[in-house]
Structure 1
Amino acid sequence: MTTNALDDAPLSTFHKKLALFSSGGPFLDGYILSIIGVALAQITGQWHLNESEQGLIGASTLIGIFFGAFAGGWLTDKFGRKTLFTLDLIAMIVFSALQFFVGDVFWLIVLRLFIGIAVGADYPIATSLLAEFSPRKYRGPLLGLYVTMWFVGAAVAYVVGELLVGLGDSGWRWALASAAVPALLIALARIGTPESPRWLAGKGRLDEANASLRKVFGPGVTVDDLPQESKENLNVRALLRSGYGGRMAFITIFWTASIVPLFAVYAFAPAILGALHLDGSMGQIGSAVITIMFMVGCIIACVFVNKMGRRPLMIHSFLWSGLALLMLGILPNASSWIIMALFIGYAVLIGGTQIMQWVYPNELFPTEIRGSAVGLASSLSRIGAAVGTYLVPLALSGLGIGTTMIIAGAITLLGALISILWAPETRGLSLTESAALGSKRSTTSTAPAVNLSRP
């Protein structure tokens, strides 16, 4: 195992601050996607929305993430991580605040589409920057804790949303616009973040790379201490050919299988719990408890991501969480305690797949295309998430809660199968080693049809 200044650096205050400021993106994502579930109850009554309109409002942000994630990935690979790290938050502030003044369904959908674009753009920008500064020993946990903030944002949204919708007929307006407040605070905190020295060195901007390294690691560290990466002059087309095409297929499929049930549950948690006979205040309390358990599951996964390894953690996470959803579908008329226990079980057990959504894409692609890879995978996975979110109210009314939960469980178990066939092991590797197509430990021999290594 080779050593270098970045991959083997001790965990510093800078790393902790960068992890915290970077995690503002998933915090806002969780907040924005969850608070609409609270606001929709009031909006539906005032605007007399049908199921299709509710689904479009819930799915519009996910559609925006589809476009924003890939655009943000391409832009951050082309123009760097630092500037875009703050600009996307400015867009979130503006469009979130404008929701207060919206007058009809069409403009609410449009604004949430733009918010989604900004949210999606932040993912490849922030995770690329965090991965490229993180020591190998802490990279998995730091990227895992990054996604944990999604559930913190969701939990805060349920509490704030309940308080604000109680203000009267305009309560839902205050609830949706409230996302501008944390977005502003996060944008201010990110000011002054240095550019990734790996990206600067890859662009031949060696003086700037040295300055960034000195700022973070001290005067004794220069670009000569950086690991040597591929000189293949990679571009976005590399995501769709050779070993990188196989890696992109694996990441996109497992990511989709992980988030389709989860996003559907979050957008319509009160409605789903109500269908399972947990309505009213019990439904809201249940939503908050489940959200906290999602966060707990991610934290537990962060503890085990280095101990178990990436591959076994994800397989077990998909398998057992999928079985919990199947049981919810089979026992829709069970007691409230059993329903809550199964939902809590799903929330805790799915944590492994959630953190791997950000660990694998950042570890399996080189610096030149890392942002584009994360962005493209995030974009493609959101297609399924948007469709799933749109179909949830239609499925609840047309198929019933039992069948809806069985379908969610089947999608989750498909993720387990994909992981068994294709998931590689990257534990303990440097970014350069895990991204190299010829690295034996970053490949799997069980899936010749989608070989993750170069033939």
Structure 2
Amino acid sequence: MSKVRTMEEMPLSRFHYKMFAYASGSTFLDGYIIGIVAVALSVMQTQLDMSVTMIGLIGAATLAGMLFGGILGGYLTDLIGRKKMFLIDMLVMAIVSILQFYVNDPMQLVILRFILGIAVGADYPIAGALMTEFSPAKNRGALLGGLNGLWYVGYASSFVVGYLMLSIGEDGWRWMLASSAVPVIIMLISRLNMPESPRWLASKGREKEANAIVQKIFGEHVIMSAEPETKEKTTYLDIFRNGYGKMVIFVTAFYSLQVLPLYGINTYIPEILAQFGFANGTREYLGAAVINIIYLIGLLPALYLVERYGRRPTLIWAFFVCSISLFVLGATSGLNMPFIFTLALFVIYGTFNTGMGAHCWIYPNELFPTHIRGTAGGFTTGVARVASSIGTFFSPAIMASYGLSTTLYICGAVLFIGFLVSLFMAPETKNMSLTEASSLNKSKDIEQDSFASEKTAN
């Protein structure tokens, strides 16, 4: 007789890698859609009359849309299911991507990029919840953190595609923006075969369907979880109740502080490279692609370290190293330093930032229970995108008014604040079941109540 095991105890299999591919489409598309506009803007500026403010709006519109997409999409994911939202979201993204080809006015593009941002923002909590609920406990951090790496693949791919499309001519920017429809349609078709999350089904009282999916995928001697998934009604305010409010504050804070400088720097990285003296025709675009591919070097050790040493130390030290790297870049930006020196600092910053970004997927999905996992993940992602849009919108104005050095100092200071937040608030969830991880704050509350009761009795 075979031993009964849970989904979280199962070893990595082909199925888990397939689910990773479904979920990683979210980060790939985010990186691609954000990146392609950076190249398109450089072409558009020669054809359309755009102020610095309008350029900032176009760059930030997608990120601003992600606020609403995350907040609404995460809640709908918990209400109607992971798979259904995945498909609806991809359909919207495909339509809007194609419509970008036909814009005749910068404001039209702002509106479309905002809608596109809503769709991208909604995809994040869907992907995170689904990957989390199928992952083995001992590999969950690596699988979730690995999703972050596909953002850089998408971002680098956008610069390569944009560079190749520069030869099209005046309408090149239209083809660049519409090109996101290709990976979107591929992802839409591939997601048709994915299963619904058994944990979500059980949380809605559909245990028979949940068990059928588990046994179909893993076999008859595998159950969903050692701890039963109780039927729960999804209410938005639950993410702030029962001790989860503190977790929302922590995740929102460190997530926002991580992405604010990330998007501010990466959206305009070709211009930043040019100011460092590396502009030569259009090679700064290829340079941006190469730098983002190199950033992935930081992901593999991060995925190992997050499982070996835990979530907390790998987040804290990543913030610290990123902060110092940008401070040094700011101090040397006007000194005509050797290319290898500047590249090394960008690589150090980027690789540690990639590792740090993995936690933006791990913590939101481990710290909250199934019935509000998508809601909490969507809320924290949405609010973090406000920080992203702020960084994207103000970066060109700050660079134009105060110079690159000051811009990098500001980004370094933001990351140092993230270091302090993580130092005082980051919990440890390594090797915990989802039930244990999502009950961390409750456990602390119980311990505090017990201590208070003992003190009163004495």
TM-score (norm 2): 0.93
Which position in structure 1 is the counterpart of 2:456? none
Cα distance in 1, alignment partners of residues 149 and 13 from structure 2:
20
Residue 253 (structure 1) aligns with: 253
**What is the CA-CA distance between 1:226 and the residue it aligns to?**
4.7
The alpha carbon displacement at 1:337 in A equals 2.6
SS in 1 for 2:222: coil
Q: CA contact under 8 A between 2:199 and 2:229: conserved in structure 1?
A: no
Give the deviation of 1:277 after TM superposition: 1.9
Shift of residue 6, structure 1, vs aligned partner: 1.1
Q: Which residue of 2 aligns with 1:450?
A: none
- Aligned counterpart, 2:270: 270
Matched, 1:241 2:241: yes
Q: Is 300-309 or 112-121 further displaced after alignment?
A: 300-309
Contact 1:433 1:439 in 2 (8 A): no
Superimposed CA distance per residue, residues 297-317 of structure 1 (whole angstroms, 9 cap, x where no aligned partner): 222211211112100000110
Give the Cα separation in 1 of the matches to 2:299 and 2:427.
20
**Contact 1:96-1:180 within 8 A present in 2 as well:** yes
Pick which of 365-374 and 328-337 moved more: 328-337
Q: State which of 409, 418, 421 in structure 2 corresponds to 1:418.
A: 421
Instruction: Work out the number of aligned pairs and report it.
Output: 442
Q: Which residue of 1 aligns with 2:151?
A: 150
Which structure 2 residues correspond to residues 7-406 of structure 1 after superposition, within 5 A? Answer: 7-222=8-223, 225-229=225-229, 235-280=235-280, 281-334=282-335, 335=337, 336-406=339-409
Kindly tell me: are residues 203 and 325 of structure 1, through their superposed partners in 2, closer, same or farther at Cα, counting changes over 3 Å?
A: same
Q: Residues 424 and 222 of structure 1: is their aligned pair in 2 closer, same or farther, counting only changes over 3 Å?
A: closer
| Distance (Å, rounded) in 2 between the aligned partners of 1:44 and 1:67 | 28
8 A Cα contact 1:33 1:266, kept in partner = no
* Alpha-carbon displacement from aligned partner over 1:407-452 (angstroms, at most 9, x marks no partner): 000001111000000000000101110001456699999xxxxxxx
1:230 is displaced (CA, Å) by 6.1
Q: Distance in 2 between matches of 1:442 and 1:148?
A: 35
Please report how far the alpha carbon of residue 266 of structure 1 lies from its aligned counterpart in structure 2 after TM superposition: 1.7
Q: Comparing 290-299 with 163-172, which one deviates more in the overlay? A: 290-299
Q: Give ranges in structure 1 of 5+ residues lacking alignment.
A: 446-455
CA contact (8 A) 1:424 1:443 kept: no
| Cα distance per residue 1:24-44 (max 9 Å; x no partner) | 010000000001001100001
Deviations 1:343-379 (A, max 9, x none): 1110011122200000000000000100000000001
Distance apart, 1:172 and its partner CA: 0.6
Give the % identical residues. Answer: 41
Q: Secondary structure at the match of 2:83?
A: coil
- Please give the alpha-carbon distance, in whole angstroms, between the structure 2 residues aligned to 1:443 and 1:258: 32
Shift of 1:387: 1.1
Contact 2:204–2:231 at 8 Å: present in 1 too? no
CA shift, 1:4, in A, is: 4.9
The answer to whether the Cα contact below 8 Å between 1:70 and 1:375 also exists between their aligned partners in 2 is: yes
After superposing the two structures, state which structure 1 stretch, 115-124 or 265-274, moved more: 265-274
After TM superposition, what 4+ stretches of structure 1 lie above 4 angstroms from structure 2? Answer: 229-234, 438-445
Cα-to-partner distance string for 1:74-112 (whole Å, 9 max, x where unaligned):
001001111111221111111001111110011101111
Q: Which amino acid aligns with 1:235?
A: T
Change (3 A) 1:443 1:102: farther
Match for residue 452 of structure 1? none
CA contact (8 A) 2:242 2:442 kept: no
Classify the secondary structure of the residue corresponding to 1:338: helix
Give the partner amino acid of 1:370. R
> Does residue 411 of structure 2 align to residue 408 of structure 1?
yes
The equivalent residue for 2:435 is 432
Supply the distance in 2 between the matched residues of 1:441 and 1:215 (Cα, whole angstroms): 38
| Structure 2 portions without partners, runs of 5+ | 449-458
Counterpart amino acid of residue 279 in structure 2:
D
| Counterpart residue identity of residue 46, structure 1 | Q
Report the equivalent of 1:453: none
CA shift in 2, pair 1:113/1:438, >3 Å: closer
Q: Following the alignment from structure 2 to structure 1, what is the Cα–Cα distance between the partners of residues 354 and 447?
A: 23
